[in-house]
Amino acid sequence: MRVTAHDVAEAAGVSRSAVSRAFTEGASIAPEKRQRILSIASMLGYQPNRIARGLSGRRTGLVALVFGRVSSPYEAWLLDHLSQAIRARGKWPLLLSAFPEGELDGALAHALSYQVDGAIVAAGSVSRTLAERCAALGAPIVMVGRILDGVAVDAVCCDNALGMRQLVELLVSEGRHRIAWIGGKAEAFSNVERQAGLLEALSGWGLEPWARRVADYSVEGGMLQALALLTADERPDAILCGNDAMALGAISAARRLGLGVPEEIAIAGFDDIPAAAWEPYLLTTVCNPVAETAAQALRLLEQRIDDGARPHEVVRLTPRLVRRRSA
Amino acid sequence: MRVTAHDVAEAAGVSRSAVSRAFTEGASIAPEKRQRILSIASMLGYQPNRIARGLSGRRTGLVALVFGRVSSPYEAWLLDHLSQAIRARGKWPLLLSAFPEGELDGALAHALSYQVDGAIVAAGSVSRTLAERCAALGAPIVMVGRILDGVAVDAVCCDNALGMRQLVELLVSEGRHRIAWIGGKAEAFSNVERQAGLLEALSGWGLEPWARRVADYSVEGGMLQALALLTADERPDAILCGNDAMALGAISAARRLGLGVPEEIAIAGFDDIPAAAWEPYLLTTVCNPVAETAAQALRLLEQRIDDGARPHEVVRLTPRLVRRRSA
DNA sequence: CTGAAAGCGCTTACAG
DNA sequence: CTGAAAGCGCTTACAG
């Protein structure tokens, strides 16, 4: 039914070993023999079974991609780049998404049963023990958008503090001093860093947040919190949001109240998702460099696969201020 | 290093066969023995190697998920539901996305080398030979959002014609008779069906499209084409778009020209992506039932896996008109 | 219900 | 450079 190396060997009059070598980069086999085997194989429609190949000790070529939901704009965008980067290296993404909250360890452990060559984690938080276990099994982890203190894991992450500094500087230079903050999921790494960055940047100007609110990184959440901020007795003159989605919601809130953006209220986000550039919004934000994030994550993963003992590396990517109309 | 069945067998004083049986649903093994093995296994951190399991003839539990880009809103949304549905059934999605245009066959063939148990195809068009080859290898295909004439493949697809009929009926009942159409990617199945549905629905009212334009299913594309339509000498009084993204762009175009939506120009889309409900848009559209699509796709796949000979089934899902503000 | 043995399709020392 | 053989970690008839 399925064409195997055996069939090809027979058709080519060589051993199964030779067939295997023909498909193995750098194996010692006569060049013309390899050519002949390869062409016979393709005629027969033979392709080495990756499962068998994985079993006999070589890599499976599978890379686990760990996401929460993949339908929020930033995640979808990152996933797109990451899966392309993985495919570009001849590997395959095994998508691990929407696992129940807090079950990352179990889910990753399960992924290990597929002998993934590595994992790129863009959601949740990896425990030290799991990271070590993965490494021991030859399936190193790279974290994206999060950095674990005291856990030796490669990571690539946007310089959130710098991004907030850029935004605050822009706002303050425009004369805004009543700057409110709508943070995202409280425990999320990006949220913690962005909020800390905001506080530090503000204090550099002798300021404090005008008000602080928490939403869930969603458009609707941002809208609700912004409504609360904008209907308070003393209104802020600017709202900084923990991500773009919430900022889009905040713009809608301002409009609903008949407030001019940015005249009466400046609004800015973080990430620069595609929708930020859509006409009704023209959101001023900071660009979280997704393509570079994906590229670096794969570089780190491959280097770690090649040399499990190299020192761990944390790459900080520089965000870029994108000024549109909302601030 | 890695804990194997051998280690568990030794620790439990049983054979490797027994360990295997303990992990195999319905295998004949004494219940108390199974319990003991399972608990020892979990203490040792043993989990059957899925790769080895796949090799020895059983299923790998892998389901290929074939997408184009996954970052467009509708695709991201569908992917989310599909990957959840797959995980809910204890299987894993192998994501196959962003393959070069027209290379679906090659990509799917490659996925086969991972012995996927099946594939859900939500992009491109599967050739008859590939569909047959997949089936022969025990990896059946289910197509989502597309139906292949003359190719025996299970499929689940929204009733596009009905959706267009609902939209046209709404517009006409509101007195709109100059209805323009912005179609999506010309060859796309959904586009072909929606456009045909539009023509038929219009002719039912004795109408023809006021004008026809083609974009690429993107927000920007929709905006450009709508600008052209709305600056023509004779303006339409409604624009129907092949998907929501283009309709969002069309709304922006109308605004840019200072045209009231829906007063001066009604605009409607197709799919009901999350952004359709965002405040600046409040897009009237037709809901493409994504959750049900995912559920049906998995049902079809599992039934096909169980019985490769059952008659092929095409499920048509009923779209639902969602009236918001834009039309 | 249980264990010894063959086999899944490949890779990789090993000996030549 | 090449082939015969062992082995990857599991499952599954087979015989008991």
> How far in angstroms lies nucleotide C3's C1' from the CA of residue B49?
21
From the CA atom positions of chain A, what is the Rg in Å?
Answer: 25
Which one-letter amino acid corresponds to residue B216?
A: D
The Cα-based distances of A187 to A16, A124, A125 in angstroms read 54, 10, 10
CA distance B117 to B134: 10
Q: Is the CB of A30 under 7 A from strand C?
A: no
Of A60, A87, A98, the CB nearest to B98: A87
> pLDDT band at B48, cuts 50/70/90?
very high
Q: Which residue has the higher pLDDT, A92 or B103?
A: A92
Task: Give yes or no for residue B69 having a pLDDT over 90.
Answer: no
Residue partners of A301: CB distance under 8 A and separation at least 6: A63, A118, A120, A140, A142, A154
Question: What domains can you pick out in chain A, each with its CATH number?
Answer: 5-48 (1.10.260.40), 62-158+290-318 (3.40.50.2300), 160-287 (3.40.50.2300)
Residues of chain A with pLDDT under 70: 1, 98-102
> How far in angstroms lies nucleotide D12's C1' from the CA of residue A124?
40
Q: Are strands B320-322 and B285-287 parallel, antiparallel or unpaired?
A: antiparallel
Q: Are strands A320-322 and B62-66 parallel, antiparallel or unpaired?
A: unpaired
Cβ count within 10 A of residue B55: 18
Q: What is the 3-state secondary structure (H, E, C) of B170-230?
A: HHHHCCCCCEEEEECCCCCHHHHHHHHHHHHHHHHCCCCCCCEEECCCCHHHHHHHHHHHH
Which one-letter amino acid corresponds to residue A161?
A: A
| CA max distance for chain A | 87
Q: Are A133 and B46 in contact (CB under 8 A)?
A: no
CA distance A104 to chain B (A): 14
> pLDDT band at B124, cuts 50/70/90?
confident
DSSP structural state of residue A72: S
Interface mutation vs chain B, best among A23, A95, A273, most B CBs within 10 Å? A95
Q: Are A327 and A266 in contact (CB under 8 A)?
A: yes
The per-residue pLDDT for range A247-259, each reduced to its tens digit, is 999 999 999 999 9
Cross-chain Cβ contact B114/A51 below 8 Å: yes
DSSP structural state of residue A271: B
CA distance A219 to B275: 9
Q: Is the CB of B29 under 7 A from strand C?
A: yes
> How far in angstroms lies nucleotide C6's C1' from the CA of residue B66?
37
Which one-letter amino acid corresponds to residue A221?
A: G
The per-residue pLDDT for range B293-327, each reduced to its tens digit, is 999 999 999 999 888 888 999 999 999 999 999 99
Tell which residue, A149, A155, A119, A154, has the closest CA to residue A137: A119
- Name the average pLDDT for chain B: 92
Residue partners of A108: CB distance under 8 A and separation at least 6: A64, A66, A96, A119, A121, A126, A130, A134
Residue partners of A35: CB distance under 8 A and separation at least 6: none
Which strand ranges, in their side-by-side order, compose the sheet holding A154-158? A314-317, A154-158, A141-144, A118-121, A62-67, A92-97, B92-96, B62-66, B118-121, B141-144, B154-158, B314-317
> pLDDT band at B130, cuts 50/70/90?
confident
The per-residue pLDDT for range B253-285, each reduced to its tens digit, is 999 999 999 999 999 999 999 999 999 999 999
Handedness of CA B21, B26, B31, B37 (dihedral sign): positive
> Which percentage of chain B shows pLDDT scores above 70?
98
Could you give the angle at the alpha carbon of A86 between the alpha carbons of A80 and A89, nearest 5°? 140
Of A1, A49, A71, the CB nearest to B113: A49
CA distance A111 to chain B (A): 9
- A91: burial class by Cβ within 10 Å (0-12, 13-18, 19+)? buried
CA distance A203 to chain B (A): 34
Q: What share of chain A is helix, strand, coil (3-state, %, to 5)?
A: 45, 15, 40
Q: What is the mean pLDDT of residues B49-73?
A: 89
The Cα-based distances of A323 to A138, A166, A257, B94 in angstroms read 44, 11, 24, 38
pLDDT of residue A131: 81
Nucleotide nearest to A14 (CA to C1'): D3
Of A60, A223, A274, the CB nearest to B51: A60
> How far in angstroms lies nucleotide D14's C1' from the CA of residue B52?
22
DSSP-derived 3-state class of residue A250:
helix
Q: What is the mean pLDDT of residues B95-111?
A: 77
Q: Are A308 and A142 in contact (CB under 8 A)?
A: no
Q: Are A182 and A226 in contact (CB under 8 A)?
A: yes
Cβ count within 10 A of residue B26: 6
Strand D bases contacted by the protein (CB, 7 Å): 1-5, 7-13
pLDDT of residue A240: 98
H/E run at residue A131? helix A128-136
pLDDT of residue B26: 86
Tell which residue, A98, A186, A187, A42, has the closest CA to residue B106: A42
Q: Are strands B238-241 and B179-183 parallel, antiparallel or unpaired?
A: parallel
DSSP structural state of residue A71: -
Q: Are B161 and B127 in contact (CB under 8 A)?
A: no
Cross-chain Cβ contact A274/B71 below 8 Å: yes
Cβ count within 10 A of residue A308: 11
CA distance A147 to A167: 22
Which strand ranges, in their side-by-side order, compose the sheet holding B266-268? B212-214, B179-183, B238-241, B266-268
Residue of A nearest to B48 (CA): A113
Q: How many CA atoms lie within 13 A of A302 on its CB side?
A: 13
Q: What is the 3-state secondary structure (H, E, C) of B66-99?
A: ECCCCCCHHHHHHHHHHHHHHHHCCCEEEEECCC
CA distance A115 to chain B (A): 7
Q: Are B249 and B275 in contact (CB under 8 A)?
A: no
Could you give the angle at the alpha carbon of B229 between the alpha carbons of B228 and B231, nearest 5°? 65
Task: Give yes or no for residue B1 having a pLDDT over 70.
Answer: no
Which phi-psi region, left, alpha or beta, contains residue A181 (left: φ > 0; alpha: ψ -120 to 50)?
Answer: beta
Which one-letter amino acid corresponds to residue A261?
A: V
H/E run at residue A97? strand A92-97
**For A322, phi and psi rounded to 5 degrees?**
-120, 105
Q: What is the mean pLDDT of residues B118-133?
A: 83
Calculated CA dihedral for residues A294, A300, A306, A307, nearest 10 degrees: -170
Cβ count within 10 A of residue A119: 26
pLDDT of residue A104: 79
> How far in angstroms lies nucleotide D6's C1' from the CA of residue A78?
44
CA distance B17 to A194: 54
DSSP B101-151: TT-HHHHHHHHHTTT-SEEEE-SS---HHHHHHHHHTT--EEEES---TTS
